[in-house]
Homo-oligomer: A and B are copies of this chain.
């Protein structure tokens, strides 16, 4: 029998994170202070992040040691398995070899705790007692609540009200781990109260939730703020995924020709491909294709300009050089909430700009069609986000069938869809729709780009 799962022992788990900034052919454009237009300093960030994370954000060290306390928690679900998709290959009748690295076995069900645990640890070490954050669909809020439980830190999550009402399961997960979750806008902050006064039924937005979380952090003692994607230190923590996958591909005596993953802020997919892109930069695997998959209704890399923009909708963060649809662009309400982000991790944008990685966009219906095929062959019911990547995976496997090429394809699978079954229900009952390209919304948002 051919092998299906490639499993590493826990003593083979990476002990350092890989920092791509050591190996970039050109350095990353710095984050800028919106008032001065000059690169942000550690002092600018000190009120909201612990110093260790601020250092990681700009470090050029190639390897950054994973603290033993963080490794101890990782061991609850890491190393994660790499699967050979025999059953999907057979169903597609493709000569391609398909592998997928699955992050859905973590307690919150996604890759998010890889960074949540690290962030909670560094905050704890600096004496922080409380962390505030925002969450959209709830993946990040639940991962941080889990991490808070691990280190005895209080977590306060501002959850976009529309999601808070529609997805009560994610809120209950946060509470089960001891996190506190309120619908945003909330009466707990000035920003929230002002909005509620005007519109008591305001459904909220990620922008408002970020503003509330930052205000809370700035006005409370011993409190910091945490972000679940986009920033360099977040991508750094996620590189455990790609490092493990590399070892596991070696066990399978294989190396990918194509790596595919979905991108919202980009942290899961970057965590997978950064250790591989190193080989491409060094000329060891020059023809390696790395495909970022985004939703057609939020096509940041495929349609946005490469400019400085705010990381959040409200304009409170430093300016980041990104492909962006404009910081106040509100994407259509696709079920893949984790992919509804106007910008993209600066590291991914830089690599895309240098031509080292590619991008494609996928419509919602095609993504779910692919997800159902995956569930019926490989068993796993995937979150709406990775379904987008599975669609491109299937496309590439079918191209191999046509050409007869035996390519090796590696998928970064970010997590399960157990709390997204309402989306599958909509798809299976024919109620799911695609959205037209939001041309007007993007045009308007791009008019509001910050001027430097």
Contact = CB atoms under 8 A, between A and B. Distances in A.
**How many copies of this chain does the complex contain?**
2
Contact of A378 (B72, B76, B176, B416): B76
Contacts of A422: 168-169, 172
Interface stretch (A5-13, A313-321, A347-355): A5-13
B9 A172 contact: no
A1 B376 contact: no
A122 interface: no
Nearest to A71: B1
B168 A4 contact: no
B173 A5 contact: no
A55 interface: no
A175 interface: yes
Interface string A218-254: 0000000000000000000000000000000000000
Contacts of A77: 379
A121 interface: no
Contacts of A92: none
Contacts of A4: 10, 72, 75-76
A87 B10 CA distance: 16
A424 B77 CA distance: 22
Contact of A381 (B87, B176, B372): B176
A149 interface: yes
A177 interface: yes
B10 A9 contact: no
Interface string A70-98: 01100111000001001100000000000
A146 B75 contact: no
Nearest to A2: B72
A421 interface: yes
A68 B1 CA distance: 8
Q: Which 10 A-B pairs have the closest CB atoms?
A: A107-B379, A418-B418, A4-B75, A169-B421, A172-B421, A149-B376, A172-B425, A76-B379, A176-B424, A172-B424
Given A1-B75, A76-B83, A176-B372, 13 more contacts: A4-B76, A5-B75, A7-B10, A72-B86, A76-B378, A107-B379, A146-B379, A149-B379, A169-B418, A172-B428, A173-B424, A175-B428, A418-B418
24 contacts: A1-B75, A5-B76, A76-B378, A76-B379, A76-B380, A77-B379, A106-B379, A107-B375, A146-B379, A149-B377, A168-B422, A168-B425, A169-B418, A169-B419, A172-B422, A172-B424, A172-B425, A175-B424, A175-B428, A176-B376, A176-B424, A178-B376, A418-B419, A419-B421
Nearest to A428: B175
Interface in A412-426: 416, 418-419, 421-422, 424-425
A376 to B, nearest CB: 4
A107 B106 CA distance: 14
Contacts of A175: 424-425, 428
A196 interface: no
A105 interface: yes
A256 interface: no
Contacts of A1: 68, 71-72, 75
